[in-house]
Chain A
Amino acid sequence: MGRRALTLRDLTSEAASEGELRERIVRELGSEFQSCFRCLRCTSGCTSMKLLELRPHFVMNMVKLGLVEELISSGIVWTCALCLKCEERCPQEVSPSELITLLRNFSFQREENVPEAYLKVVSSVLETGFIQEPMEVVSREFEEFTRESLGLPRLVGPREAFSENLIELMTREAG
């Protein structure tokens, strides 16, 4: 597959204003996300509550109050483990995890607070199609193995049109 030098700037669009961000959230998730009545089922079952102090109902309500910028700059959206219990258990059928994912997308577009490891994964998928190349592994007896030495077939990745599509999708103006 051909390689093309990419910078982060290529993948990001100009920052949208606060109002635009809220509009976009409503457009993408529907206005239903605003029907949260703070029953706290999401937060009481949240995987990241104890160790990272994530409280999904706070995120829901901060967006309702228009505090989108604050959420993005706090980096709190990256404390979610994406276990999806909040989405499963919400009696109002709104999804804090989907909202958090969308806010992550905004973070990426603004190059704000995105963990380095995510950027690495994006580069790798663009270049090879996969999150990483096949790795060499060691057994418990410290013998080294590769796909080939284990007798596994060669991994055939996608062709050129794939990365062109992906770049187009990722560089497109938000919304």
Chain B
Amino acid sequence: MEVAVYWGCMIPTVEYAYELSLRATFPRLGVKLIDLKGVSCCGSPIKSVNRLAADYLALRNIALAEETGTEHLLVPCNGCYLSLSEALHHWRTDEELQGEMEKFLDKEGLTLEGGIKIVHTINFLHDIIGLEAVEKAVKKPLTGLRLVSHSGCHILRPSKILDVDDPERPRKLDDLIRALGAEVLEYPESLDCCGAGLLLSHPETAVSLSATKLRAIQGLGVDGLVDSCPACHMMFDARQETGARAIGYKLSLPVVYYTQLLGLTMGLDGRSLGLHLNQSPVEKLLERAQKTFP
């Protein structure tokens, strides 16, 4: 199965671990990723300064993806997933906007049909690849590991437009982690925002929010946190130490992308999954995982 992939900005400019682990694992599930040329920012940060420009940015990326002729467009970043889904919804429901946008796309030599299906890593794996196929790919199950998940805001809300998972009680990422053999805990703070949306305006508050969530998770005594959004991941992983300082609490929680965990259970080498790039203490999780491997 071929699928076009739109990486956005954060993944290909700094969150390389997500890209590496997705590129390493998806072919093993029978998925061939098709990279896009000429893509740009999805429009997410631009929406705060100009909503129309944000729609244009999103739609031009979708038009580029449609040129590949694949049924699905995989968008691994939550923020991009929302921007693209929302702009496509605007385009489908607002004729005036559609006419306007066609002019701008035309100047770039692009046309938009609007039929491509936008999917995120989580619903692509859960609904299209399927839990059984994921389970089958597991060579080294994570038996005995206790984990929690963070789905992130922008694949859940607004549920009027998005349909990745239940907006108030998401389960798919948990199901996917269980498919790897680990135990998953539910926790009261699971819907709390990572704070990344405040990084550009109130950075100190942003890291306080992510650190407060991490403190709650650490209190559960779990082996780690699993996410699948580059913005959330950056807040929990790379900014864990900054956040810990902001709230005056010692944090030491392994944070991994779901695709990194998936790759580990497939028996892939840690470096090919970018596990050396995580800034949180993932060794603790890796050691525990090694012990569980038969």
- B202 at the A/B interface (Cβ < 8 Å)? yes
- A14 at the A/B interface (Cβ < 8 Å)? no
On whether A145 and B197 interact (CB within 8 A), knowing A153-B35, A158-B38, A170-B50, the answer reads no
Give min CB distance, A106 to chain B, whole Å. Answer: 10
A5 — which chain B residues lie within 8 A by C-beta? Answer: none
Question: Residue-by-residue, is B191-205 near A (CB-CB < 8 Å gives 1, otherwise 0)?
Answer: 111010111111001
Contact of B277 among A28, A133, A137 (CB under 8 A): A137
Interface residues of A toward B: which range?
A: 35 or more
Do the beta carbons of A129 and B167 come within 8 Å of each other?
no
A95 vs B279: C-alpha distance when bound (angstroms): 36
Contact of B12 among A105, A152, A162, A172 (CB under 8 A): A152
A170 vs B14: C-alpha distance when bound (angstroms): 27
- A71 at the A/B interface (Cβ < 8 Å)? no
A135 vs B271: C-alpha distance when bound (angstroms): 18
Which A58-110 residues have a C-beta within 8 angstroms of B? 78-85, 87-88, 93, 95, 101-102, 104-105, 108
Do the beta carbons of A122 and B46 come within 8 Å of each other?
yes
A84 vs B16: C-alpha distance when bound (angstroms): 27
B52 — which chain A residues lie within 8 A by C-beta? Answer: 169, 172
- A43 at the A/B interface (Cβ < 8 Å)? no
- B60 at the A/B interface (Cβ < 8 Å)? yes
Do the beta carbons of A150 and B20 come within 8 Å of each other?
yes
Which of B68-76, B116-124, B153-161, B257-265 is the interface stretch? B153-161
Question: Residue-by-residue, is B54-75 near A (CB-CB < 8 Å gives 1, otherwise 0)?
Answer: 0011001000000000000000
A104 — which chain B residues lie within 8 A by C-beta? Answer: 48-49
Give min CB distance, A94 to chain B, whole Å. Answer: 12
A140 vs B195: C-alpha distance when bound (angstroms): 24
Do the beta carbons of A137 and B40 come within 8 Å of each other?
no
Do the beta carbons of A105 and B205 come within 8 Å of each other?
no
A86 vs B191: C-alpha distance when bound (angstroms): 13
On whether A140 and B276 interact (CB within 8 A), knowing A131-B13, A132-B13, A132-B14, the answer reads yes
- B138 at the A/B interface (Cβ < 8 Å)? no
A161 vs B104: C-alpha distance when bound (angstroms): 9
Listed A/B pairs (20) with beta-carbon separation below 8 Å? A48-B198, A81-B206, A82-B197, A122-B46, A125-B46, A129-B39, A130-B13, A137-B277, A140-B282, A145-B16, A150-B16, A152-B19, A153-B35, A158-B40, A161-B108, A162-B40, A165-B56, A169-B53, A170-B50, A170-B53
Chain A residues in contact with chain B, CB under 8 A? Answer: 11, 28, 47-48, 51-52, 78-85, 87-88, 93, 95, 101-102, 104-105, 108, 114-115, 117-118, 121-122, 125, 129-135, 137, 139-141, 143, 145, 147, 150, 152-153, 155-159, 161-162, 164-166, 168-170, 172
Closest 7 CB pairs between A and B? A129-B40, A83-B193, A117-B200, A84-B157, A82-B197, A108-B49, A81-B197
